[in-house]
Amino acid sequence: MKLSEAESTMQKTIEATKRSFNTIRTGRANTSLLDKVMVDYYGAPTPLKSLANISTPDATTIMIQPYDKGSMGLIEKAISMSDVGLTPSNDGSVIRLNIPPLTSERRKELVKLAAKYAEEGKVAIRNIRRDALDSIRKQEKSSEISEDESRDQQDQLQKLTNKYTNKIDELLAEKEKDITTV
C-alpha cells in the first residue's frame, strides 16, 4: 500500500464519519436524518429519498411528499420502525415529522453516540496505518526499499495518521457544539 493510497482511504474514512454524524439529531430539522431509512417498496428495500421529495419548511419540521401516493403507508411504517425516533403524521398528501426540542439528557446521549462514531473513524484510520506499515516493512524486508526510505515512509505515514485523527476530533467538537447548542 502506497502512502497516496493510504491517504485516499483515510479521506474516505473522514467522509464516512461525516455521514454518520449527519444521522444524529441536533434539535433542528435536517433531511439527512432520514438517509438510512429504507422502505419495503414492492418487496424491495428502497431508500426513502428515492420514493419521496424530502424538505424542511421550517426549523422543527421535515416534510415528506411521496411521488406515489400509494406508498404513504409504507413510508409511514418505515419511519416508525426506524431508529429515527420520530412519529410521522399523515394528512393524505404529505407526511410531516415534527422535531421536538432535545432534553439535556437526550443531548448527552447524542454526544456519546457522536463520540462512538468518532472513535470508530479513528480505529478505521489506525487500521489503515497498520496495513500501510505492514506493506512498508515487507518492501524493506524484500530489499525493494532501503532502511532509510522505510523509516521516512513510516514517519510520513504517522504524520498522515495524526492529521486525519485530528480532523475527526475537529468534526466531533463541531458536532458536540451543534448538539449542545439550544
Q: What is the 3-state secondary structure (H, E, C) of 58-96?
A: ECCEEEEEECCHHHHHHHHHHHHHCCCCCCEEECCCCEE
Please give the Cα distance from 177 to 64 (Å, whole number). Answer: 28
Q: Contact at 8 Å (CB) between 88 and 74?
A: no
Q: Write down the pLDDT at residue 182.
A: 65
Please give the Cα distance from 51 to 66 (Å, whole number). Answer: 6
Nearest to 39 by CA among 70, 68, 15, 75: 75
> What is the percentage of the chain residues whose pLDDT exceeds 90?
31
pTM (two decimals)? 0.71
- Which range of residues forms the domain containing residue 151? 3-22+103-180
CATH number of the domain within which 129 lies: 1.10.132.20
Last residue of a domain, one of 43, 70, 98: 98
The DSSP secondary-structure symbol of 31 reads G
Mean pLDDT value of segment 93-101: 85
Residues 172 and 120 in one domain: yes
Overall size of the chain counted in residues? 182
Q: Write down the pLDDT at residue 158.
A: 94
Q: Which amino acid is at 92?
A: G
Q: Write down the pLDDT at residue 31.
A: 80
Residues 111 and 81 in one domain: no
Residues 119 and 170 in one domain: yes
Please give the Cα distance from 41 to 74 (Å, whole number). Answer: 7
Q: Write down the pLDDT at residue 78.
A: 86
User: For the segment 10-67, what is each residue's pLDDT rounded down to a tens digit?
Assistant: 999 999 999 888 878 777 777 887 888 888 888 888 888 888 888 888 888 889 898 8
Neighbours of 79 (CB within 10 A): 21
Count of structural domains, the chain: 2
Residues 13 and 48 in one domain: no
Q: Write down the pLDDT at residue 91.
A: 85
Q: Which three cell numbers stand for residue 30?
A: 435536517
Grid cell 492529521 — which residue? Answer: 163
Q: Write down the pLDDT at residue 168.
A: 95
Last residue of a domain, one of 49, 68, 98: 98
Q: Write down the pLDDT at residue 16.
A: 92
Residues 43 and 17 in one domain: no
Residues 133 and 65 in one domain: no
Q: Which residue has the higher pLDDT, 172 or 70?
A: 172
Q: Write down the pLDDT at residue 14.
A: 93
- In the predicted model, is pLDDT for residue 108 greater than 80? yes
Adjacent-strand bridge partners of 55: 63
- In the predicted model, is pLDDT for residue 166 greater than 90? yes
